[in-house]
């Protein structure tokens, strides 16, 4: 096997894994100080639970081509046993076990993204079970459909999801809507993020880690990876600047959190396109993401229909992801996709395939996430939400026995 | 003895403290507070930075000093002068409250009474 | 004038502040404190997160407002009502202390007396 | 009722609080402040860590407790003893101020008067 | 030389170096706010002092096979001069200078680990000297014995220390006991960590950096590195989850700091095993680490015998390391170790060799660390501990002239 | 193309990009709490604006050898279009697009470095425009002169700027002086850094990222990269320790911020030398940097002449950069430079060439930065400085509508 590819994919895997604590800080900075530990932990523990699920059966369900009636992959890779020393059986130019590791990092961050919808009130123990079920019944099948040999990836016209616009972002975005609906609004929503530097730190780690996410999805240290790298950065850059300018136009001030959110929106949107568009395409995608996500947040679209998607997961990852998926169909560059290119080149194939992928992901993830959460809510002893008094006191003390910051003369 | 509690703009704190020292004050304590008076708060970004929200109260500094009765006027006017912004003063410049202190003790010596604050 | 010092649960702060404004209070200041009363503290993890330890005091918010004498009862009852949790109220809901304020000055104008807090 | 406001060294806070409890105090509140008295501050690095600068005031803890009149002496001496460093006491050990409290209310019950602090 | 290997080892070296600031934040978040700068600096300055010692003579003592009476390596590589342009003379498939750089990062973090035992009271100037002496007289020889050609690495049966279970963790763990004993208890130990987000940040950086530590110890971008990578993550994941569950069982709450500690415990334990066990072995090792270290912390074992190993270095790195070393002897997988495997396969060789390695490390490091600290304590002008009033005021102001956080209206 | 080189250069690019948020935290920790968001944003938004400028025309101006009258490169690479799929046309052994990406990260951090001179008072909207102009008119030409085929890189004697001593550090350092002069002093300068842990975090990220900066400047995963790596670490290490000792000698205390600054000074100084000196040279360069920058900060040289270069950008990056450039001429090692070596070997060629490079950079950047800022200051509606009341209130609230930290019972 090519050691350069292995080197880059090992690095990419580490980079993507780093995104989950990055997300922890992004989200953690946005909530109130009395809920920071909980918010960090929702992401951090996903590195624990989702890793184990993935190693034991998740990867098999997502990538074993001995299909399970088309719903998911087969069970041959349970415990990663059979792929341990395989090289290239999965069709990547790296050891199969490295494919499993790289893909694992996606299965970790995707459920962590959802948590932004229900911070400050979701029961941590129920969340541990949710993680197991959601990775198994939502993430793994969708991953299989798109990347593991399933129907979405085989659509006529050619579905293009380079690094997870559907699998990761739309998936998490719509699950966030279901979760926000079922868990209900916060009793007291607070006004300001409690720690803007943490938001910036998180955004920075996400930005850097995303190079692993997108350029790593090339599966190799090659020209496609380089394109994905440059496009990723370009889209993030222009979306951040776009948000800054819109912020300035509407308020006369430039929100640091907004700029960070803009960068993330650009990164989300370029994800499905990363290796398949040129720099101009990346600029267009990033610009669109900055505008769309800014106004979605600006007009509080979900809040208007009564949903407290607290950290606006749907506005950023859902809408950003949908825009990115469609935009990939628009701006795909034939030289990179080895096809007739996107809508701009008069080829509607990718666009239509991606549209189907979007709708399928919204439908499946929305419904199954809803069912999982609905059932968890009804099971005695579980339930989605902590008690009112625990929420008032802050979930850090009540669920974790900890306070984020102690600056108490007595200690 | 009198207790003077002065709420001032945070950025004025050092100026006021220097003025207090210049006015002969020997000891003071201060801490960060949030407060509302006539001033109508500030617009801040909420959530993910897409729109502004109103925050009624603002960061201020509370300065507390216990002084002998006789220094009252000097202390108050030194605070007023050093805390006021602009020629005319502005909303939000702060407020000063005066109350009675019945006793004072210096921990290190056990000494009591007015001499502890002179 | 009277000074009202109310210690309340942090999560009740906004509710109490709104109640104060509704009761006609024109200015207030508040800050984070730690306190102990009848409430017996909380269990927290210590060290590397392997076992719990007892912390006697809890985070609270101190709300301080200076009001004209006549508003005393209205202010106190608005605090009691807004700070109380549950129908019956619970240990830890807080305490209110009242004391005399002898003078008040508005920094911006130099204006003195009760009018500064009305 | 009396209000005792004691400014002590931060590192003495727990000791003082335990002494208060031992002296029969039922409730207290405390918070971080910065203060200056006889103590002459501390040298701190400024900017990028190449040279020292003088900071006049130091971190301290404010401990506030409202007590029945009768406990005054016991409380003050318990603070003095527990807050004092070294045999002789030292500059910076802190100060205690005493003032009158006119009324007290327990939020949970609405109960008023001295019984709320006993 | 293979550029893929070089690429991965450059990356790994950077990743491992990043662990030391990660540790700084982990430890820094656990202490009280008035000692945070000092705690950060104990780790940060190790990047300075230990780097210099390593470059000047440490590497030579650890890896020059011109042995010094068997106690350490020879002096031929002093100043790294002779190895500058060497390629593969050390038997690695990368430039010799890169071996020196990679190994340097281990010599940096190992003494930094010890500092958890004596935070909030150890004299910084004495610590600078301690760093020089400890890397020279404890770290370098043990490193030589295990990896540099010395007796431990050559034990019959085959000692297995993939990435430093003995050299790094047991070594630091027992030195921490010696240090805690000699420096004495804190005057006032505080109750709560002052900044849980920093603990989580540190844990995240450690977790990510550990991929360099373990997968980098393969010395190449190959299948062994991939195994080490997956095992590292798996053990960390299950140990974190195990701690979470034990925390919940015993207290009804799930400590964020505990989860972070659990992850670190899993990482510690899998270190000697990383490239030599299968995924099932990693699961077993991580599970064991979570249980052992949790109960060691839960029952405050060292505190019970009167030692204030403040941040529980021995419980996590000492015991975690011992468990890992023995477990490597139990779960070694013959296909990877090119031997008859571990105890589970009926081969006691590795287990016995590792047991000897554990005992030797405990003995040598315990004794020599004790002697170094004992002597430093007696030297006039040095001494291990700051004055009582400096400790009361906080070591940040007294030793560093700084406060961690300034939120003072006057500034 | 060699995949190992690509792997390392992708990694390096990510590492260097990570430095900019690292710088954000370094600078952010040094200011007062009420200006932390602004200080973070000066750096963060550079990742947005400078990326776009670079992609659109900056790279072309800096690296297209169809020279523009010798002032800058040509316009052939506008929009990166023509280099998209080029391999090695730029003379690097990696895809041309990757060269553009790697170099972009330098164009991002250089203007971000300048911001240390004017934190707490510079108008954010004007800053956005400044970024565009400065990258275009200052950074790109100097980059072209030194690395893109221009006159400095072609000086007789052989200019040696391995990774950007002139292009990045001296350039930013002198621009900082111009900015400090034109923006004027802060109304109230504060005394203490508000968050020392953030300074340490920033320094750690800078240190790690610098491996990408310097070892990545080898352009390949080879022996030169390894040398650059080791030298980078060695210089940082000794400079940090030197600062610690000088701090102790002068004050009896060891400033954590000082140690962090020392490390940065060492990193700055070794930048031009990284791949061209031996370990002894790196030690000398780091030692010199520690001493020079410490005393420059200690004696507040710029403050003495009335300039409020608030975070001492000139003392650290300007002087550190000048020392490094000259020291490269002194300590260059013939075996690595493929020449007669440096002054120590009796060859003055490199020294003289580097001296010219230093003077040219100081002159050009000083003057053009001054002009740009002077003009921006005069343009109605722009101007360099926020209003007095906005400055007093804190630039975070006034320009960004945010407070860094909210620990308010009411939220
Ligand atoms: N009646 C009051 N009781 C307690 N604090 C007050 C009162 N009035 C004002 N303050 C404090 O003083 C600060 C400044 O008051 P503000 O009304 O903004 O200034 P001014 O009235 O001088 O224009 C407030 O933010 C608040 O902290
Ligand atoms: N005597 C007192 N002096 C000062 N503060 C007090 C006193 N009693 C109570 N407090 C403050 O009020 C808070 C609430 O008191 P607590 O006893 O818990 O409520 P309650 O007595 O209403 O059940 C305490 O945490 C403390 O901060
Ligand atoms: N007159 C005063 N008014 C308010 N606070 C005071 C006064 N004098 C002292 N303090 C507070 O007490 C603290 C300790 O005072 P200090 O003078 O250092 O101790 P001492 O006078 O006992 O030597 C000061 O830091 C300050 O916070």
* Segment C2-18, tens digit of pLDDT: 999 999 999 999 999 99
- 8 Å CB contact of B61 and E409: yes
Query: What's the complex ipTM?
Result: 0.97
Candidate from F34, F389, F410 with C-beta closest to B34? F410
> Which stretches of chain F drop beneath a pLDDT of 50?
none
CA of residue B58 to ligand 1 center, whole Å: 10
- Secondary structure class of F122 (helix, strand, coil): strand
Average pLDDT of span E359-368: 98
Write out chain C residues lying below 8 Å of F407, CB-based.
32
User: Helix E223-251 crosses helix E256-270 at what angle (to 10 degrees)?
Assistant: 140
Tokens of D108: 């949970």
The DSSP code for E72 is B
Q: Give the CB-side neighbour count of residue E64, counting CA atoms within 13 A.
A: 24
Nearest CA to ligand 2 atom 19: C92
- 8 Å CB contact of E397 and D11: no
The b-or-e profile of D59-77 (16+ CB within 10 A means b, else e) is: bbbbbbbbbbeebeeebbe
Task: Determine if ligand 3 sits within 6 Å of the CB of residue B65.
Answer: yes
Instruction: Name the residue of chain E whose CA is nearest to D41's CA.
Output: E397
Contact F196, F257 (CB under 8 A): yes
- 8 Å CB contact of C14 and F410: yes
Q: Is residue E192, in this structure, part of any structural domain at all?
A: yes
- Ligand 3 atom closest to the Cα of residue B106 is 22
User: d(Cα A104, Cα E234) in Å, to the nearest integer?
Assistant: 11
CA of residue F240 to ligand 3 center, whole Å: 39
- Secondary structure class of F283 (helix, strand, coil): helix
CA of residue B27 to ligand 2 center, whole Å: 28
Q: Is residue A409 scored above 70 in pLDDT?
A: no
The C-alpha of E304 sits at a distance from chain D's nearest C-alpha, in angstroms, of: 23
Task: Determine if ligand 1 sits within 6 Å of the CB of residue C106.
Answer: yes
β partners of residue C66: C3
By residue range, what is the domain housing residue C86? 2-117
pLDDT tens sequence across A368-397: 999 999 999 999 999 999 999 999 999 999
Write out chain B residues lying below 8 Å of D34, CB-based.
29-31
User: d(Cα A239, Cα E109) in Å, to the nearest integer?
Assistant: 39
User: d(Cα E235, Cα E285) in Å, to the nearest integer?
Assistant: 6
- 8 Å CB contact of F410 and B57: yes
Write out chain F residues lying below 8 Å of C30, CB-based.
409-410
Neighbouring chains of D at 3+ CB pairs under 8 Å are A, B, C, E, F
Candidate from B14, B17, B32 with C-beta closest to E407? B32
How many structural domains are present in chain E? 1
Confidence band for C90, pLDDT divided at 50, 70 and 90: confident
β-pairing, B2-8 with B94-100? antiparallel
Percentage of residues in chain A having pLDDT higher than 90: 93
- CATH code at A30? 1.10.3430.10
- 8 Å CB contact of D30 and A410: yes
Write out chain A residues lying below 8 Å of F411, CB-based.
32, 190-192, 194
| pLDDT for position E409 | 67
- 8 Å CB contact of F405 and A194: yes
- 8 Å CB contact of C48 and E297: yes
- Secondary structure class of A200 (helix, strand, coil): helix
Q: Any CB–CB contact under 8 A between E56 and chain D? A: no
Q: Which residues line ligand 2 (CB under 6 A)?
A: C 7, 35-39, 58, 60, 91-95; D 26-29, 64-66, 106-108, 117
Contact B7, B95 (CB under 8 A): yes
CA of residue D37 to ligand 3 center, whole Å: 4
Contact E56, E139 (CB under 8 A): no
User: d(Cα A320, Cα A297) in Å, to the nearest integer?
Assistant: 11
Q: Is residue A69 scored above 90 in pLDDT?
A: no
Smallest Cα–Cα separation from A407: which of D31, D112, E330? D31
How many structural domains are present in chain B? 1
Of A26-35, E80-89, E367-376, the poorest mean pLDDT is in: E80-89
Tokens of F247: 């701090």
Q: Is residue B88 scored above 80 in pLDDT?
A: no
| pLDDT for position F409 | 67
Contact E153, E143 (CB under 8 A): no
> Considering only residues 248 to 287 of chain A, which have any Cβ-Cβ distance to chain F shorter than 8 Å?
248, 251, 253-257, 259-260, 263, 278-280, 283
* Ligand lying closest to the C-alpha of residue D37: 3
Q: Sort A305 into a burial class: Cβ within 10 Å, 0-12 / 13-18 / 19+.
A: exposed
| pLDDT for position F161 | 97
- 8 Å CB contact of D97 and B107: no
CA distance between the termini of chain B: 10
Show Cβ contacts of residue D12 under 8 Å, excluding neighbours closer than 6 positions.
D61, D82, D83, D85, D94, E392
Q: Sort E282 into a burial class: Cβ within 10 Å, 0-12 / 13-18 / 19+.
A: buried
pLDDT tens sequence across E211-220: 999 999 999 9
The C-alpha of B20 sits at a distance from chain D's nearest C-alpha, in angstroms, of: 11
Q: Any CB–CB contact under 8 A between D68 and chain C? A: no
- Ligand 1 atom closest to the Cα of residue C67 is 1
Smallest Cα–Cα separation from B66: which of B18, B14, B32, B26? B26
β partners of residue E95: E87
- 8 Å CB contact of F402 and B45: yes
Task: Determine if ligand 1 sits within 6 Å of the CB of residue B3.
Answer: no
Q: Is residue A339, in this structure, part of any structural domain at all?
A: yes
Q: Any CB–CB contact under 8 A between D34 and chain A? A: no
Instruction: Name the residue of chain A whose CA is nearest to E226's CA.
Output: A98
- Ligand 3 atom closest to the Cα of residue D62 is 27
Q: Any CB–CB contact under 8 A between D77 and chain A? A: no
Q: Give the CB-side neighbour count of residue A112, counting CA atoms within 13 A.
A: 34
Q: Is residue C118 scored above 90 in pLDDT?
A: no
pLDDT tens sequence across E156-188: 999 999 999 999 999 999 999 999 999 999 998
Task: Determine if ligand 3 sits within 6 Å of the CB of residue B13.
Answer: no
- 8 Å CB contact of B31 and D32: yes
Smallest Cα–Cα separation from E277: which of A80, A63, A75? A80
By residue range, what is the domain housing residue A370? 3-385
Contact D15, D109 (CB under 8 A): no
Q: Over chain A, what is the mean pLDDT?
A: 96
- CATH code at B66? 3.30.70.120
| pLDDT for position E184 | 98
The DSSP code for C10 is G
């Amino acid at each position: 096997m090519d050691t350069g590819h292995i080197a880059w994919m090992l690095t990419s895997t580490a980079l993507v894994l780093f995104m989950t604590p990055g997300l922890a800080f992004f989200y953690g900075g946005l909530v109130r100080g009395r809920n920071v530990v909980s918010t960090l932990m929702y992401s951090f523990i996903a590195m624990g639970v989702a890793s184990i699920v993935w190693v034991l059966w998740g990867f098999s369900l997502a990538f074993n081509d001995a299909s399970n009636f088309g719903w998911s992959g087969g069970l041959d890779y349970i415990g990663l046993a059979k792929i341990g020393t395989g090289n290239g059986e999965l069709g990547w130019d790296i050891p199969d076990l490295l494919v499993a590791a790289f893909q694992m990092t996606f299965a970790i961050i995707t459920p962590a993204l959802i948590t932004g919808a229900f911070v400050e009130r979701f029961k941590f123990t129920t969340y541990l079970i949710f993680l197991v079920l959601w990775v198994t019944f939502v993430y793994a099948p969708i991953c299989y459909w798109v990347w593991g040999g399933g129907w979405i990836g085989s659509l006529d016209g050619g579905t293009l999801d380079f690094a997870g616009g559907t699998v990761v972002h739309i998936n998490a975005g719509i699950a966030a809507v279901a979760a926000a609906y079922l868990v209900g609004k916060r009793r007291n929503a607070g006004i300001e993020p409690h720690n803007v530097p943490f938001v910036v730190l998180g955004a920075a780690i996400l930005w850097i880690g995303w190079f692993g996410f997108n350029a790593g999805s090339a599966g190799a240290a090659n020209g496609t990876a380089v394109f994905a790298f440059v496009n990723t950065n370009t889209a993030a850059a222009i979306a951040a600047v776009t948000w800054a300018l819109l912020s300035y136009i509407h308020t006369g001030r430039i929100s640091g959190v907004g700029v960070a959110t803009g960068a993330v929106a650009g990164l989300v949107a370029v994800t499905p396109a990363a290796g398949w568009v040129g720099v101009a395409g990346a600029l267009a995608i990033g610009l669109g993401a900055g505008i769309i996500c800014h106004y979605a947040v600006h007009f509080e679209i979900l809040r208007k229909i009564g949903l407290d998607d607290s950290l606006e997961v749907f506005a950023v990852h859902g809408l950003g992801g949908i825009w990115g998926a469609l935009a990939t169909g628009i701006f795909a560059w034939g030289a990179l996709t080895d096809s007739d290119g996107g809508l701009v080149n008069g080829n509607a194939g990718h666009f239509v395939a991606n549209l189907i992928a979007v709708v399928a992901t919204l439908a499946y993830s929305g419904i199954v996430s809803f069912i999982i959460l609905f059932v968890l809510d009804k099971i005695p002893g579980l339930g989605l939400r902590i008690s009112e008094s625990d929420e008032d006191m802050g979930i850090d003390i009540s669920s974790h026995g900890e306070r984020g910051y102690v600056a108490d003369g007595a200690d | 003895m009198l207790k003077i509690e002065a709420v001032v703009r945070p950025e004025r704190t050092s100026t006021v403290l220097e003025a207090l020292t210049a006015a002969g004050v020997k000891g003071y304590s201060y801490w960060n507070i949030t407060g509302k008076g006539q001033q109508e708060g500030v617009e801040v970004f909420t959530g993910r930075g897409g729109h502004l929200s109103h925050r009624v109260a603002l960061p201020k500094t509370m300065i507390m000093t216990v002084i002998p009765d006789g220094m009252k006027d000097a202390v108050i006017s030194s605070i007023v002068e050093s805390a006021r912004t602009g020629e005319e003063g502005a909303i939000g410049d702060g407020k000063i409250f005066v109350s009675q202190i019945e006793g004072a003790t210096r921990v290190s010596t056990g000494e009591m009474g007015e001499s502890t604050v002179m």
